[in-house]
Amino acid sequence: MNVETTPRAPTQQSRPPTYQLLDTELFRRPTHSRVLTSAERVQISFAKARNIVEFYALSLEDIRSLSQAFWDLYSDPIIANDSGATTFIAIQYNLVIGTILDLAGSRVDSDLRVLLDDLLHYRVQGSFCLTELDHGLDAANIETTAEELADGSGYIIHTPHPGAAKFMPPTVPCGLPSVGIIMARLKRNNIDCGIRPFLVHLHDGKNMQPGVVSRKLPDRGGSSPVWHAITSFDNVRLPAGALLGSADATLSFAQTIWRIAVGSLSLTAVKIVALAYSACIVARYSQRRLTAAGGGSPRPIISFPTQHGPILKALSQSIVLAQFYKYATKAFSMGEESLRVRHGIATCFKVVALRMGLQASLELSERCGAQGLFNYNRLSESFLDLRGIAIAEGDALGLSIRLAIELLQGRYTLDEVFFAHFTNPLSSSEDANPLARHASELLIQTRAMLARHWDNTTPGAGPDERTHRSEHFARLVLPQCKRIVEAIGTSYAYASAVDAGVPEPVLRLFLATEMREDEAWYIEHLGMTQVGLFEAEVQANQDALPHLEEWLEMSGVERYIEVPIMRKEWWDDFVETLPVYKAAKL
């Protein structure tokens, strides 16, 4: 099926750098400004989203095939400029357009082709409505219904009770007409035919469609507003063509929501950029902030290990994770592999990137003292955005539990697929990568722990006592799942960086800091000592410090950032914009 409607996007090498957008009035206007209303901030984020996607000029084929240009968009430094714009792009280009292309099949009629073109060029806003107030992680149990009419002329979509209302997707009128992909239970002659996606017109940009009700939620604290909402349907009639795909199709739920797995990988990549943003902001602030200890000469606070250590750690993580993303997208795009394997790789990436990002955001913010608390310096905002991504496109903990259980049960493995594109076999070797041994041994130890427990199970116990749904399994394994997946993801990240030829100082610092995340395991199983692990990290930091400017340059983000604390002149200009309260002159 050829659905190409625009020229194929240029390669990353030939595409002009996106920092050119920063010279436009739109991108120079700070969305955290005190004089902007929530509605104005949403409109700015919409406009930025349109500008970014126009600049990238992705085609429908790029989105359908998950081309390199598609993946590049989410790791471009411009994508972290405005988290509201990022959210709109992720919904529009992956969840909405991607789902339509994946499920419409050969049914790309003229009306659908026009809609796809409108979505691609942001003339129409798209929403993706899956989860409900009563059904988040258990989205397979959603209760929204789409009853097929007796004559086959269409469907009636309905929210049976308040708990079945769609939760979170932005469906409030914002000036653009909007359509939603609404996941609902197809009912035919009172028989449940499973969850199917339906195209529903939500509003014309100003007025909601009859029967569609959107209740705007309060803005999330500290993060860019996108007007999340609670959306319900009161017996809304849909045409027969509203169903994406065939009503008789034997499509699994996982296939229907496949684009969420894509988003687990692509949307998390945004936070690699945000990690580099935060490190750069704190580095520049720490270089200009002076302190005089004990009456001595003033010196920059970055000279203290407690200040440059977290900065170097965050930079090394962003460099390594960028390579992990490249290898993960290659493995993910291997269409012949099962959905579960590809989703598993995306889960490993998401879980480890979020853990590193959340830790770094807090630590770097603390290194700026009171300045780290204000949104105008981007640090606290970045942390709150990360918390949102931990839930979006699949909750990180829920994904970890599912993946770890399936790996423990031996349903599939990830290594063969992930390492298929590696050029250096030693990159994935447990001898060369202690993080890989850590990951594999955690799986082995957990299986052994379960076996010991089940061997001691009281004779005559029912079969449920020896399954992953038993209370014993829940107590022993569920608390370990995220740790196991983080270990796998960390080993994949390090192996990716080694295979990509990342500089040795980056690798040494990354390895030293990650081994200290579970230092008890390395002491118990590899004969290391706590002091030895600490001294290795100290030495790695010392060796890395001379490379600070080089690493900041490698991140490629500095020219995209303009926050007050980075430079004295920026701070002085910012202070001049603040409201002034003082006594009137006599």
The tens digit of pLDDT for each residue in 509-523 reads 999 999 999 999 999
Does 524 have pLDDT greater than 50? yes
Whether 352 and 492 map to the same domain: the answer is: yes
CA distance 411 to 433: 25
Total domain count for the chain? 3
Residue 33 has a pLDDT of: 60
Q: What does the pLDDT look like over 49-62, one tens digit per residue? A: 999 999 999 999 99
Identify whether the C-beta of residue 481 lies closer than 8 Å to the C-beta of residue 405: yes
Residue 31 pLDDT level (bands cut at 50, 70, 90): low
Mean pLDDT of all residues in 141-164: 97
Core vs surface per residue 215-237: b (16+ CB within 10 A) or e: eebeeeebbbbbbbbbbbbeebe
Q: Which residues does residue 183 pair with via DSSP β-bridges, in sequence order?
A: 197
Whether 192 and 263 map to the same domain: the answer is: no
Whether residue 584 is contained in a domain is answered as no
Paired tokens of 479: 């608390």
Identify whether the C-beta of residue 533 lies closer than 8 Å to the C-beta of residue 361: no
Paired tokens of 346: 């995306």
How high does pLDDT run on average in the chain? Answer: 90
Identify whether the C-beta of residue 350 lies closer than 8 Å to the C-beta of residue 399: yes
Task: Report percent pLDDT > 90 for the chain.
Answer: 72
For the domain that residue 225 is a member of, what is the CATH number?
2.40.110.10
Mean pLDDT of all residues in 100-107: 80
Q: What does the pLDDT look like over 217-245, one tens digit per residue? A: 998 877 788 999 999 999 999 999 999 98
Does 185 have pLDDT greater than 60? yes
Does 249 have pLDDT greater than 70? no
Residue 367 has a pLDDT of: 96
Residue 9 pLDDT level (bands cut at 50, 70, 90): very low
* Sign of CA pseudo-dihedral 197, 198, 204, 206: negative
Does 351 have pLDDT greater than 90? yes
Residue 567 has a pLDDT of: 96
Whether 238 and 271 map to the same domain: the answer is: no
Paired tokens of 134: 């009563």
Which DSSP helix (H) or strand (E) runs through 26?
helix 25-28
The residue with greater pLDDT, 294 or 34, is 294
CA distance 107 to 64: 15
Whether 357 and 482 map to the same domain: the answer is: yes
Does 292 have pLDDT greater than 80? yes
Give, in order, the Cα–Cα distances in Å from 429 to each of 414, 419, 424, 533.
15, 11, 10, 21
Residue 220 has a pLDDT of: 84
The residue with greater pLDDT, 30 or 33, is 30
Task: Report percent pLDDT > 70 for the chain.
Answer: 91
Paired tokens of 138: 């258990």
CA distance 223 to 357: 16
Whether residue 523 is contained in a domain is answered as yes
Whether residue 18 is contained in a domain is answered as yes
CA distance 203 to 171: 8
CA distance 145 to 142: 9
Whether residue 265 is contained in a domain is answered as yes
Does 213 have pLDDT greater than 90? yes
pTM passes above 0.85: yes
DSSP 30: -
CA distance 265 to 57: 21
Q: What does the pLDDT look like over 441-482, one tens digit per residue? A: 999 999 998 888 766 554 545 544 556 667 778 888 899 999
Whether residue 317 is contained in a domain is answered as yes
Whether 235 and 262 map to the same domain: the answer is: no
The residue with greater pLDDT, 295 or 203, is 203
State which of 248, 273, 290 marks the end of a domain.
Answer: 248
* Sign of CA pseudo-dihedral 483, 485, 487, 490: negative
| Cα 271 from chain centre | 7
Choose among 570, 168, 265, 221: nearest CA to 383: 221
Q: Which residues does residue 200 pair with via DSSP β-bridges, in sequence order?
A: 180
Whether 486 and 367 map to the same domain: the answer is: yes
User: How buried is 475 (Cβ within 10 angstroms: 0-12 exposed, 13-18 middle, 19+ buried)?
Assistant: exposed
Does 5 have pLDDT greater than 70? no
Whether residue 569 is contained in a domain is answered as no
Whether 201 and 267 map to the same domain: the answer is: no
Whether residue 473 is contained in a domain is answered as yes
DSSP 136: S
Paired tokens of 248: 């008789």
Whether 341 and 275 map to the same domain: the answer is: yes
Residue 8 has a pLDDT of: 40
Whether residue 507 is contained in a domain is answered as yes
Residue 6 has a pLDDT of: 38
Paired tokens of 371: 């300045």
Residue 500 pLDDT level (bands cut at 50, 70, 90): very high
Residue 293 has a pLDDT of: 73
Residue/partner pairs of 338-342 with CB below 8 Å, 24 or more apart? 338/412, 339/254, 339/255, 339/258, 339/261, 340/254, 340/406, 340/411, 340/412, 341/412, 341/414, 341/417, 342/261, 342/417
With H, G, I as helix, E, B as strand and everything else as coil, classify residue 146.
strand
With H, G, I as helix, E, B as strand and everything else as coil, classify residue 155.
strand
Q: Lowest mean pLDDT of 7-16, 166-175, 539-548, name the range.
A: 7-16
Q: What does the pLDDT look like over 367-393, one tens digit per residue? A: 999 999 998 898 988 888 888 888 887
Whether 306 and 401 map to the same domain: the answer is: yes
Choose among 175, 180, 168: nearest CA to 39: 175
Whether 398 and 485 map to the same domain: the answer is: yes
- Domain boundaries, position 116: 1-123
Choose among 224, 227, 177, 228: nearest CA to 201: 177
The identity of residue 292, as a single letter, is A
For the domain that residue 362 is a member of, what is the CATH number?
1.20.140.10
Whether 303 and 429 map to the same domain: the answer is: yes
Q: What is the 3-state secondary structure (H, E, C) of 470-502?
A: CHHHHHHHHHHHHHHHHHHHHHHHHHHHHHHCC
Whether 228 and 273 map to the same domain: the answer is: no
The residue with greater pLDDT, 171 or 465, is 171
Does 19 have pLDDT greater than 60? yes
Written as one string, the DSSP assignment of 200-253 is EEEESSSSBPTTEEEEEPPPPTTSPP---EEEEESSEEEEGGGBSS-TT----H
